[in-house]
Amino acid sequence: MKKESGGLFEKLLETQQIFKNREYLRPTYIPDNLPHREEQIDQLARIWVAPLRGETPSNVFVYGKAGTGKTATVKYLMNELEKTGDEVSRKIEVIHLNCEVVNTKYRILATLANELRGKIQEKDPDAEDLPDQVPMTGWPTDQVYSVLLEILELEEQIVIILLDEIDKLISKGADDVLYVLTRINSDLANTKTAVVGISNDLNFVPQLDPRVVSSLGEEEVLFPPYNAPQIEDILKKRAEMSFEEGVLDDAVIRLCAAHAARGHGDARQALDLLRNAGELAEQERATKVTTKHVTKAFHKVERDKMEEAIRTLPEQSKLVLLSALLLQERKARKIGTGDVYDVYSALCRQNGLEVLTRRRVSGLISELDMMGVLNARVISKGRYGRTKEIELNVESIQARAAIEDEMYVKDLNSITSSKQEKLG
């Protein structure tokens, strides 16, 4: 066994390597140079030079579609800001929170307090007079706020609170914390704070309380989508660091850039696509990455994105989609909204769940259509009104697996059996 195992690894080590370092293609990597974002970098630098002069920085709202370099640019500039602060003896702390994860008023205030407390302890393990760490549940919110103020006032400093995916606070009903954070300076003497919000939702600000809008929107910076030549340029630079010399066919980068440009200029998608293509070539033990690998990788990435979208659907939307999938599996020639509603109602009743109205279910079908999970074409039935004819854009087995991984639905077989005659 040892000899066979050794032979196996020796054989793998002898195959030509595709990657030098694939980490440069991952979204977590922040490059030292951010091409095609010079204008946005200059705008933000002009705003954030204020704390280096000892002035209170403005609150900033940074927005643009996914993959336009918002978070990478902000993190890059924040790193530079902290380093320059050390050089000019200005204490600047940046606290980065992802509102997809930390998404309640209590948790945001508690996390801020604990992060700042941890930074003090890291620099001075014997620091005295530090308040206790805030638990993630259990305290009154005003007590958590008091502890946060106490920690902020321990040192003279400027604290920048970076809220990534800030729009998630609205969907979680936690946007009231923004009012607190944008007004916190009035309760501080030694420390000054600023809020930086990053969002993919261009319509986020109008949904906020007008009092928050006036504070959060002091400065706004828009990140437009990249075009195909810009994405191609970004990919070339990363490819040089990531791949062994000569392993990429000439058309590979161009094809990755074209796919991403069609998908609203998402550079992150282009980098994922290039990395996936390289990994497929690696699995096949190919000596080169070709457009064939890019095409395969594109279908895989799209399938993975669709599965993730299905997993994160609300429960009622999952039930509506599952109803359409069950109908499709029973070879229904044409799936109408009435058919979907019948199966959906049966699923809800058998699982003890609320049955929504036909109108609401029709709205959920429209939302699934907008996501690209299905196509819902409106068909006129003359004096009998209109209906939606539904066609699924997802593979049944994978979509059902994604739904059933997230929720348990009982008695599926009995539902499909009872509908067999109708669907024939």
The residue among 271, 247, 244 whose CA lies nearest residue 259 is: 271
Read off the DSSP letter of residue 248. Answer: B
Q: Which amino acid is at 13?
A: L
Distances (CA, A) of 408 to 301, 313, 346, 357, 365: 26, 14, 15, 22, 21
Maximum CA extent, the chain: 81
Which residue(s) pair with 156 in the sheet? Answer: none
Cα–Cα distance between 410 and 167 in angstroms, integer? Answer: 35
Residue 72 among known ligand-binding residues: yes
Residue 381 among known ligand-binding residues: no
Residue 191 among known ligand-binding residues: no
Cα–Cα distance between 92 and 83 in angstroms, integer? Answer: 9
DSSP for 27-73 reads: TT---S--TT-HHHHHHHHHHHTGGGGTPPPPPEEEE-STTSSHHHH
Residue 69 among known ligand-binding residues: yes
Residue 305 among known ligand-binding residues: no
Between β-strands 158-164 and 219-222, what pairing exists: parallel, antiparallel or unpaired? unpaired
Residue 226 among known ligand-binding residues: yes
Cα–Cα distance between 205 and 162 in angstroms, integer? Answer: 16
Return all residues near 123 (Cβ < 8 A) that are at least 6 apart.
none
Cα–Cα distance between 297 and 222 in angstroms, integer? Answer: 31
Torsion of CA 368, 371, 373, 376, to 10 degrees: 50
Residue 137 among known ligand-binding residues: no
| Residue numbering of the annotated binding site | 68-72, 226, 238
| Residue numbering of the annotated binding site for ATP | 68-72, 226, 238
